[in-house]
């Protein structure tokens, strides 16, 4: 993508705002773009990128001040520029779930607990697991493979192997095994 250069007086008032800590150097737009403002009054919209070691699609931007480069989340820079503050225990999130849509209308503070319940693994995807003895009697019921592993002397992989029939002799190490509750 070719970075475009714009004059700073083309947009309506309030469209671009200075990013706190980088006043007069970097600005964020209502649409979620970041631009560098030069001393001659011209500006250039900067390209965003994703990091390899971050497993989501959040966009980053390089901001330089006094010779020090810093990588910042684009949505954090936009939120700061437009006064969207995340109080203690809150984070800025994308309302529509699209991590590349950094427009002001799409950003809001939310607690980490609410965010994890919205974006984390869903309860519906968990399969109930039964702990059964050699005669087929149910000894215990668990909500998931992980829960069964925590309560027994098995690791998660060992419980998974027994649930999905990947073990030749499931009763060799214990007097019970695990099966899916169907």
d(Cα 34, Cα 59) in Å, to the nearest integer?
11
Contact 81, 17 (CB under 8 A): yes
Q: Please tell me the predicted confidence (pLDDT) of residue 96.
A: 86
Of the candidates 5, 6, 30, the residue with the CA atom closest to the CA atom of residue 16: 30
**Local structure of 6: helix, strand or coil:** strand
DSSP for 74-142 reads HHHHHHHHTT----TTEEEEETTS-TT---GGGEEEEEHHHHHHHHS--GGG---EEEEETT--EEEEE
What is the rounded distance in angstroms from the CA atom of residue 135 to the CA atom of residue 141? Answer: 16
Is 111 found in the same domain as 89? Answer: yes
β-bridge mates for residue 177, sequence order: 132
Shared domain check, 159 and 114: no
Looking at the structure, tell me whether residues 170 and 85 fall in a common domain. no
Same domain, 31 and 105: yes
129 and 42 in a common domain: no
Q: Are 114 and 135 in a shared domain?
A: no
pLDDT (0 to 100) of residue 7:
46
| Domains of the chain: total | 2
Q: Are 49 and 59 in contact (CB under 8 A)?
A: yes
CA dist 172 and 63 (Å) reads 60
**pLDDT at position 121:** 58
Residue by residue, DSSP assigns 37-82 as E-TTSEEEEPPPB--TTSSS---EEEEEETTEEEEEEHHHHHHHHT
3-state helix, strand, coil in the chain (%, to 5): 20, 30, 50
Tell me the pLDDT of the chain (182 aa) as tens digits: 444 444 455 666 678 999 999 999 999 999 999 999 999 989 999 999 888 766 577 889 999 999 999 999 999 999 999 999 889 989 998 888 888 899 999 999 999 888 877 776 555 567 789 999 988 899 999 988 888 888 888 898 999 899 988 888 888 888 899 998 87
Q: Are residues 131 and 97 in the same domain?
A: no
Which pLDDT does position 4 carry in this prediction?
Answer: 46
Give the distance, in angstroms, between the CA of residue 26 and the centroid of all CA atoms in the same chain. Answer: 25
Residues 106 and 130 in one domain: no
Range of the domain at 141: 124-180
Residues 91 and 164 in one domain: no
Q: What is the CATH number of the domain that holds 70?
A: 3.90.75.20
pLDDT at position 19 is 94
pTM over 0.85: no
């Amino acid at each position: 993508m070719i970075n475009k250069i714009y004059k700073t007086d083309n947009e309506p008032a309030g469209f671009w705002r200075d990013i706190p800590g980088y006043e007069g150097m970097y600005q964020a737009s209502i649409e979620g773009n970041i631009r560098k403002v030069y001393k001659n009054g011209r500006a250039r919209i900067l390209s965003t990128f994703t990091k390899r070691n971050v497993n989501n699609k959040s966009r980053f931007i390089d901001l330089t001040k006094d010779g020090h480069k810093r990588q910042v989340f684009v949505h954090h820079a936009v939120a700061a520029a437009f006064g969207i503050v995340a109080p203690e225990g809150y984070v800025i999130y994308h309302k529509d779930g699209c991590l590349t849509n950094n427009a002001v209308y799409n950003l809001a503070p939310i607690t980490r607990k609410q965010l994890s319940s919205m974006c984390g693994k869903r309860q519906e995807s968990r399969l109930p697991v039964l702990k059964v003895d050699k005669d087929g009697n149910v000894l215990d019921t668990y909500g998931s493979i992980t829960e069964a592993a925590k309560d027994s002397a098995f690791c998660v992989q060992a419980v998974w192997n027994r649930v999905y029939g990947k073990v030749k002799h499931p009763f060799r190490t214990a007097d019970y095994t695990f099966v899916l509750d169907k």
